[in-house]
Structure 1
């Protein structure tokens, strides 16, 4: 699992512009850096900018219709010929259609927030698509590796969005020791020092969400970005009041109200949000109830939480698309408190790789 950190210079790139690891060899990118699939943030623009800069951009298609997903894929291909990935929900009703679309469009990497079935993995691998699920526990990594996954993204508790209780520094080596496929570390990464630290644990690269959200290529509005930039390392909270499972988000008045609301108030708010999401999405109440039942499966959720889970996209869209930080939920990793600028993806990746070279040079020989 030890990566080859030889700088990639065979293509004429300057030393420091790239780094060979098991992940870069698997996917065909220059730099062992992944931009995660953030709903309503990681569209064609951000994914293409990341991939063109040498990393792996991932289109977050879970919040897109099938038609929107197809347009996004084609838009990335128009902007760059570099490899990129697409993230979908493995439990979506149209997951198989989305997999067929990825195969037809020649997408290099299929990313999943929930473990895909062995059958879906097999379909993708037979078509030459790299399968890279995100996991939060050793046993999940072992399961998908046994099913044929090519790589895994391992997110520790520092990470934003849905997250677990185990920090990256504990979870990462645990998973690296358990599987024999490339492991990408996520949760708490934003610079070259972190990349070197992850490599020292045996990872083959790092994945970053909050750091890529806070770039000039990110579609998030300036006002919302300013909210992020004003936060410190203690200004996130893990709450189950968004969709019933642990979710790391920025602290805000809305999150405080969700946390303090009683059962009746919470249910009323969830119902109102569900009605708003129904109007915007065009889904029927029956479809939303099916979604809620699927999210409730295997979890001890109240029906208020089920409704919140079903319309979580509404809360994300309010902030990420509509620019309403006061009305939306803003997923964020703790690393937000260490970020104070908005570089382009190209500037960010170049900086991270240079910092990694400098960090390696400082290590005792």
Structure 2
């Protein structure tokens, strides 16, 4: 299925696997790329050396195009951009809007720039700066998310920009792909659906929690870091929501102390990290600390399997996912379903 997105990126199918921290590593990304979709490495939880090693591992596993997701506000963003250019990575995606200068630098080197956005004005801004495409995440999507549903946000942005738009938030099958195409999108991006595949390195007990979840078990809370965050309801979420200010601060300090030991950051550096993530929000000190070490809360679940102590970011679609296919099986199934849906659509009268 050829779309403006597949032609831009050079993949066979208009499907993207999003850059999920601690999840989107070389094994998952190379499997997605080998299946003909666009896999994206999550670099925010990697050091520069780890990112270089991960990129080279993906290249050793597949010759297909893949991408790297970056934090535009990272202190070493310029070095990561240089690494992407030097290693010949096809796509750079961003969770936060990159600067016009950063976009220009990547485009000059032939890298396709695809920021993720959650509002029309953000799409218009990055398009004006030269972004090649955008991923639009509606409120159904996992992790930090907005309030506007994909079905409302997507057509707004399709109408607002002249670059390919990839729809994210609530997608898992061929029906969703056809629906997104009918809105004018050039493809779909899926996170939770690829998290729940055979090649995902998420521990089996954690995958089991996702598979057992109903739609109502996927919640949006601000208790973790002060920002709307969609995740599975867990012991940690419930305790944070019910705890008083003093208990939340004590818990945040304990988590922050653990993160400081692992990351090597000083306390002042951690506070600066947390403040940088406020995005203009009025956060308590416990939320500032938790914002700084949210990556470690994700790691507790996604790497260590501690569903009682960690955060399990999740799209609402987790409530209707029931299996763990390989990436190749998933992509083939989505494309076959999409074709079946298209074939069943009523034809126009002559």
Q: TM-score, normalised by structure 2?
A: 0.98
CA distances 1:127-180 after superposition (whole Å, capped 9, x unpaired): 000000000000000000000000000000011101000000000000000000
Offset, 1:284: 1.8
Q: How much has 1:338 moved relative to structure 2?
A: 1.1
Residue 134 of structure 1 is aligned with which of 116, 120, 127? 116
For residues 160 and 282 of structure 1, the distance between their equivalents in structure 2, rounded to whole angstroms, comes to 28
Residue of structure 2 equivalent to 1:68 = 50
Residue of 245, 248, 254 corresponding to 1:266: 248
Candidates 326, 347, 352, aligned match of 2:308: 326
Q: Secondary structure at the match of 2:116?
A: strand
Question: What's 1:339 paired with?
Answer: 321
Mean Cα displacement is larger for which, 234-243 or 339-348?
A: 234-243
Whether 1:255 and 2:228 are equivalent positions in the alignment is no
How far off its partner does 1:301 sit? 1.4
For residues 95-150 of structure 1, the C-alpha deviation after alignment (integer angstroms, 9 at most, x for no partner) is 01100100000010001000001110010000000000000000000000000000
Partner of 1:114: 96
In structure 2, how many angstroms separate the alpha carbons of the residues matched to 1:84 and 1:229? 27
Q: Distance in 2 between matches of 1:37 and 1:75?
A: 16
For residues 282 and 165 of structure 2, what CA distance do their matches in structure 1 show? 30
1:283 and 2:265 are equivalent in the alignment: yes
Q: Which residue of 1 aligns with 2:285?
A: 303
- d(CA) in 1 for partners of 2:13, 2:34: 11
The partner residue of 1:79 within 49, 52, 61 is 61
1:314 Cα shift? 1.0
Match of 1:360 among 338, 342, 346: 342
**Residue in structure 2 matching 1:145, options 116, 119, 127:** 127
Q: Which residue of 2 aligns with 1:38?
A: 20
Task: Provide, for residues 195-251 of structure 1, a one-character-per-residue CA deviation record: whole Å limited to 9, x for no partner.
Answer: 000000000000000000000000001111001000011111111111221100001
2:118–2:145 CA contact under 8 A, matched in 1: yes
Q: How far did 1:297 drift?
A: 4.9
Task: From 167, 174, 193, give the equivalent of 1:211.
Answer: 193
Q: 1:5-24 maps to which residues of 2 (within 5 A)?
A: 19-24=1-6
Instruction: Give the aligned CA root-mean-square deviation in angstroms.
Output: 0.8
Match of 1:29 among 11, 26, 51: 11
Structure 1 ranges of 4+ moved more than 6 A: none
Secondary structure (helix, strand or coil) at the match of 1:30 reads coil
- In the alignment, what sits opposite 1:243? 225
Structure 1: which 5+ runs fail to align?
A: 1-18
Is 1:156–2:143 an aligned residue pair? no
Whether contact under 8 Å (2:218, 2:319) holds in the other structure is no
Q: Deviations over 1:266-325 (max 9, x none)?
A: 111111100000111122223212212212352221221110000001100000000111
Q: Distance in 1 between matches of 2:199 and 2:278?
A: 35
Q: Deviations over 1:68-111 (max 9, x none)?
A: 01100000000000000000100000001100100000010001
- Over 3 Å counting, the alpha-carbon distance change for 1:208 and 1:297 in structure 2 is closer
Q: Supply the distance in 1 between the matched residues of 2:293 and 2:236 (Cα, whole angstroms).
A: 15
Q: Distance in 1 between matches of 2:294 and 2:315?
A: 18
Structure 2: which 5+ runs fail to align?
A: none
2: CA distance, partners of 1:301 / 1:348 = 40
- CA contact under 8 A between 2:198 and 2:327: conserved in structure 1? yes
Q: Which moved more, 1:80-89 or 1:238-247?
A: 238-247
